[in-house]
Chain A
Amino acid sequence: EADIYQTPRYLVIGTGKKITLECSQTMGHDKMYWYQQDPGMELHLIHYSYGVNSTEKGDLSSESTVSRIRTEHFPLTLESARPSHTSQYLCASSELDGFSYNEQFFGPGTRLTVL
């Protein structure tokens, strides 16, 4: 059973506020990811990490930033939220395996609305 958590599940916030979306996993996975998904649309990779102190930008440009100070924790921060940031943000993790695919476990997501 996947043990990956995201908080908050829902967030409604005003323009200009700084927000941090939390993601934690207890599986000891090295790789972690953030995806952005608009309702009914595909997932877009915005950030990923291979391990502690590793962060990479994904395929979709994002104004958000991430950090990876601990293996289990991969928070995403928006310094100044805007209505265009309204979306669902999904966090995922997987084992680090350079040769073959390992299943990505997803968190429940955070639905962000910026007014």
Chain B
Amino acid sequence: AQKITQTQPGMFVQEKEAVTLDCTYDTSDQSYGLFWYKQPSSGEMIFLIYQGSYDEQNATEGRYSLNFQKARKSANLVISASQLGDSAMYFCASFMNRDDKIIFGKGTRLHILP
């Protein structure tokens, strides 16, 4: 069964610094997708970024980039120039075509300090 591991339950980062949120996944499938969601304290889930397993380049969306290392099965989220509004819970998730479902990690709570 597919599994997502986020090893950082919480992180504190100074404003304007870059931050890397770790995510590893476990699959034997060749075709899959990986992505990150942000969940502020208000509770809604905000889609941030997506990486397909066949994509050769790392995905980028504004200040967000996904450091995709296929051989290591890792898909770390990098946030450049962090802002106070980045304080939230961040979930890594995977989609396996075989299972046709999305599995979420346990999340990392990010705190940006002024």
Contact = CB atoms under 8 A, between A and B. Distances in A.
**Are A and B physically bound partners?**
yes
Interface of A: 33, 40-43, 45, 48, 58-59, 88, 90, 92, 98-101, 103-109, 111
A42 B107 contact: yes
B43 A108 contact: yes
A107 B31 CA distance: 27
Contact of B89 (A40, A92, A101): A40
A46 B106 CA distance: 16
A62 to B, nearest CB: 15
Contact of A48 (B91, B101, B106, B107): B101
A108 B44 contact: yes
A92 B5 CA distance: 22
Contacts of A99: 31, 97
Contacts, number: 58
A43 B91 contact: yes
B104 A43 contact: yes
Top 7 closest A-B pairs, CB basis? A101-B33, A106-B45, A101-B95, A43-B104, A109-B43, A42-B106, A108-B44
Given A98-B100, A101-B95, 13 more contacts: A41-B107, A42-B104, A42-B107, A43-B91, A59-B103, A98-B97, A99-B97, A100-B33, A101-B97, A103-B35, A108-B44, A109-B44, A111-B43
A104 B47 contact: yes
The CB with the most chain A CB atoms within 10 A, among B45, B50, B97, is that of B45
B84 interface: no
Contact of A90 (B45, B50, B105): B45
